Amino acid sequence: MTLQIGDLAPDFTLPSQDGIPLTLSSLKGQRVVIYFYPKDQTPGCTKEACNFRDRWEIFAANQIKVLGISKDGSQSHLKFIQKHDLPFTLLTDPEPCLVATKYESYGLKKFMGREYMGMMRHTFVIDPLGKIQLIYLKVKADCMADQILTDLSLD
């Protein structure tokens, strides 16, 4: 991986579940968690989203913005948010997933002997200065939020 802790986080603008563009650099001054995930409503992605939801009060109390990013469109994100009562923003990074590519979170995957291009389950914590503070490449979907809070000494 060429992105390193301490690097300036690559800036981006992506549409939210409401179709409203969000620019990462507009969040400077607060800590941001960016988690890339493969697909709305799938078992692992639902576990991961719900883990962030279940720890939401701690993230909010510490002014930490959580952004989930997948290839899914705004309508899919809205349904995912409504079904699981998700209190954070989901962003759409459509094919060819330029933002995920900047974050080295889109690439060749293998599943049941088949190879395909897809979104990797990677998570990044961006500090208030816009620099990468933490990188998680081996993500456990059901406890990613817990891991971040532990690593930030906020649990």
What is the set of active-site residues?
Answer: 45
Distances, alpha carbon 14 to alpha carbons 34, 52, 53, 76, 154, in Å? 12, 20, 21, 15, 28
Separation between Cα atoms, residue 21 and residue 3, nearest integer Å: 24
Separation between Cα atoms, residue 46 and residue 40, nearest integer Å: 7
DSSP state of 6: T
Separation between Cα atoms, residue 74 and residue 80, nearest integer Å: 10
